[in-house]
Structure 1
Amino acid sequence: MNYIGSKNKLSSFLKKSIHGVVGKDLKDKTFCDIFAGTGAVARSFKTQVKGVISNDLEFYAFVLNKNYIENHKEIKGAENYINILNKLLPKEGFIYKNYCLGGGTGRQYFSDENGLKIDTIRLKIKQWKDKREIGDDLYYFLLASLLESADKVANTASVYGAYLKHLKKSAQKSLILKPAMFELNDNDHQVFNEDGNTLIKKIEGDILYLDPPYNQRQYGANYHLLNTIAKYDDFIPKGKTGLREYNRSQYCKKSEVAESFENLIKDAQFKHIFLSYNNEGLMSSKVIKNIMQKYGKYDLTTTEYQRFKADSNRFNKTNKTTEYLHILEKQ
């Protein structure tokens, strides 16, 4: 998935840095990713650690992590369910009626064909779940597969804050439901859908990885349509872009971010804490250092990487940004 803040490109840097502090043998360690997003970082540690705790406030992210992190054993018959869903006859539903031109709203997040297919697949998954024909593991596997497949044919410039006036090439392709494959292992993992500052008081472990929002962009607004597909609830979409009510993170508010961050560090029952943040974030490196060093031994490492493409054309912006990894050994 093309995702703001994704750490896919930084995974080798993060793993090398974390291994350098904690060691390479993590089989007895619990790893927590409390702002997990699509779960890229948590996934990279899933098979190395005793267990992963993954969390995100956004429901679409919760669905993805329920599949990629919590699912860890083979799901028998999963491929057959994918095949059934791909062969269903189209049926009108919420997405077609509200986010496709054929629905009459003027919105064009998906082609009519793909909007109908998203509805058809989502309704069938819901039917199976409501009738208890599938368990949670298969439910989240199928739902994650739909989110990933729908995102590939979305008519947007990477995020869902707006749709494009004309269907781009990838949005003209027919949606094909492809399985969202997850790594198998013998360990149990936990996935939550809570505010990170609330959850931190209820969990403990060894390695805490933090990747909060850096700026004022709210993920709930930028990915509102993924939440709508995931929840498939009934509401009245608002405005030109069809927004739903969405979570507003305190980490996106300059007046609240430092206090929220310090509370998180203070309440964390983890020895090793790693914070990803970049040079354009709401908190300066000085502010972060001053907060973290109150609670133990502080260190910092950096790397440069390519900017997320939705940002690359903004006025007076460079193509690269600096990623900071703030490190705390809590005492």
Structure 2
Amino acid sequence: MSFRYIGSKARLVDQLGEFIGKPYSKESYFIDAFCGTGSVAEAAAELGWNIRINDILYSAVITSEARLMSIHQVSFENLGGYDKAIEKLNAVVLEPGFVWRAYSPASLKFYGVERKYFSEENAIKIDSVRRQIKEWRDVSTISHTEERLLIADLLKALNRIANIAGTFGCFLSKWTPQSKGYLKLECRKLKNYNIKIDVSIGDVFSVKNKAYDLVYLDPPYTKRQYASYYHILETIAFGDEPIIEGVSGLRPWKDKASAFCYKRKALITLSNLVSEIQAKKVLVSYSNDGHIKMDEMIAAFNNLGMVKVSSLGEINRYEPNKKPLKSISNVNEFLVEIEK
């Protein structure tokens, strides 16, 4: 199963690669300013670009960075190698913690709400793995980069056994077959790049870029706020124990609310962002399902440079799971190129 994520461009990367092309120079960066799960940044890296990734969500940046990690960055020397580190995590001593108390059926006892994001067994394993990663980092057994890779591996593993329809905005009332499986971390295939990779977490308006870079924007299209839909991934990525509320057990997230998710703010925010970008070329992914009408977007961008719109075809509407939902109509995806 691929990583379930709203707006994932995993199925469009081959087409997007044709528009990205080769780097302009050895110093040029491909900047994925809303990196999500990192599929587009990974495609650009394969084309030889230096990469700069950014997202407002820590879990998204960790997930994306892990897709780009090179064998030269992580040796896990103190643990006998990457495979040994994963082996130790899969055999970790089990001890229940926050995820078990908050997001498994045990939550009924602690919060008065029975949450079924994870089985109790899997929730305890998640707690135990996350705790072990933190302990290794606290005593410098692993580096900061190695820590982020292992957290990303944990997020990938728990995504496979989460009892959700596609996001962590809510859990399912009945256990799915996948949620009855067991959490198991796996080594990923590390890259052998000879490129530069920069990482930032925060406001998209603060992402560094220069004239000879290529900036790719894949902003939220609709009202769905990623910070609330992926709150559990954020909690596990941070390894904290926030005050949570509601049936879903939401952590505080409104400080990360995106203006792109509000219909009255989306166009002006996107227009201002493209206007402030120093790079001479900007690529914007969008769909006819979004808040901004394509003719309005084109009109706004025409004031900034030459604009070209290409259709990337139809994809299933909000299809976080692997199997398409036949009862739901498709949407058209577009790529807008702005040459300043």
Alpha-carbon contact 1:70-1:191 (below 8 Å) kept: no
**C-alpha displacement of 1:206:** 1.9
Alignment of 1:286-297 (within 5 A): 286-297=295-306
Deviation at 1:18, TM superposition (A): 3.1
Partner Cα separation in structure 1 for residue 9 and residue 228 of structure 2: 20
- The equivalences for 1:24-63 within 5 A come to 24=22, 28=26, 29-63=28-62
Q: CA deviation at 1:303?
A: 2.3
CA distance in 2, matches of 1:314, 1:258: 31
For the residue of structure 2 that corresponds to 1:109, the secondary structure is coil
Deviation at 1:51, TM superposition (A): 0.8
Instruction: Tell me the equivalent position of 2:186.
Output: 178
Paired residues of 1:67 and 1:137 also in contact (CA < 8 A): no
Instruction: Indicate yes or no: 2:259 matched with 1:250.
Output: yes
Aligned residues of 1:125 and 1:143 also touching (Cα < 8 A): yes
Letter of the structure 2 residue corresponding to residue 14 of structure 1: L
- Where 2:274 maps in the other structure, the secondary structure is helix
Report how far residue 65 of structure 1 moved. 2.4
Give 2:134's aligned amino acid.
K
1:328 maps to what in 2?
338
1:43-64 deviation digits (Å, cap 9, x = unpaired) = 1111323411110001110211
Does the aligned pair in 2 maintain the 1:305–1:321 contact within 8 Å? yes
Quick check: 1:94 aligned with 2:98? yes
Q: Is the 8 A contact 1:214 1:252 kept in 2?
A: yes
Contact 1:70 1:190 in 2 (8 A): no
C-alpha spacing 1:181/1:143, structure 2 compared with 1 (3 Å)? farther
The 1-side partners of 2:69 and 2:199 are apart by: 6
Q: Is the 8 A contact 1:152 1:171 kept in 2?
A: yes
Q: Paired residue for 2:140?
A: 132
1:160 correspondence with 2:164: no
Percent of aligned pairs with the same residue? 29
Q: CA deviation at 1:103?
A: 3.7
Contact 1:30 1:207 in 2 (8 A): yes
Q: Secondary structure at the match of 1:255?
A: helix
Q: Using the alignment, how far apart are the partners of 2:107 and 2:267 within structure 1?
A: 44
Query: Does residue 1:68 correspond to 2:73, yes or no?
Result: no
For 1:132-169, what per-residue CA distance to the aligned partner results, in whole angstroms no more than 9, with x for missing partners?
21102211110000000011000000111110112100
User: TM-score with structure 1 length normalisation?
Assistant: 0.92
Aligned-residue offset at 1:70: 5.3
Q: Is the 8 A contact 2:158 2:183 kept in 1?
A: yes
Amino acid at match of 2:62: V
| Partner of residue 217, structure 1 | 224
SS of residue matched to 2:339: strand
Question: Alignment partner of 1:166: what SS?
Answer: coil
Tell whether 2:228 aligns with 1:229. Answer: no
Unpaired runs of 5+ residues, structure 2, are 76-80
Question: 1-side partners of 2:65 and 2:188: how far apart?
Answer: 11
**Does the aligned pair in 1 maintain the 2:69–2:190 contact within 8 Å?**
no
Residues 100, 112 of structure 1: 8 Å contact kept? yes
TM-score by length of 2: 0.90
Counterpart for residue 79 of structure 1: 83
Distance 1:251 1:181 in 2: 34
Letter in 1 for 2:13: S
Contact 2:151 2:237 in 1 (8 A): yes
**1:309 paired residue number:** 319
Consecutive unaligned residues of structure 1, counting only runs of 5 or more, are none
| CA deviation string 1:200-219 (max 9, x = no partner) | xx332421111000000000
Alpha-carbon RMSD across the aligned residues, in angstroms, is 1.8
Where 2:264 maps in the other structure, the secondary structure is coil
| Alignment CA distance shift 1:12-1:32 (3 Å) | same
- For residues 189 and 109 of structure 1, the distance between their equivalents in structure 2, rounded to whole angstroms, comes to 34
* Counterparts of 2:88 and 2:283, CA distance in 1: 43
AA aligned opposite 1:91: E
Does residue 193 of structure 2 align to residue 208 of structure 1? no
Q: Deviations 1:70-107 (Å, cap 9, x if unpaired)?
A: 55625221111100010112111110010001343410
User: Given that residues 70 and 188 in structure 1 are in contact (C-alpha distance below 8 angstroms), is that contact kept between their aligned partners in structure 2?
Assistant: no
Q: Please name the residue that 1:11 is paired with.
A: 13
Mapped partners of 2:20, 2:241: distance in 1: 43
Q: Distance in 2 between matches of 1:106 and 1:179?
A: 33
Aligned mates of 1:26, 1:117 — CA distance in 2: 46
Q: Take 1:245 and 1:74, find their aligned partners in 2: how far apart are those partners?
A: 33
* Alpha-carbon distance change, 310 to 136 in structure 1, aligned in 2, over 3 angstroms: closer
Partners of 1:192 and 1:111 lie apart in 2 by 33
Instruction: Give the 3 Å change call, closer, same or farther, for CA 5–182 of structure 1 in structure 2.
Output: farther
Tell me the distance in 1 between the aligned counterparts of 2:48 and 2:280: 15
Code of the aligned partner of 2:92: L
- Supply the AA of the counterpart residue of 2:170: A
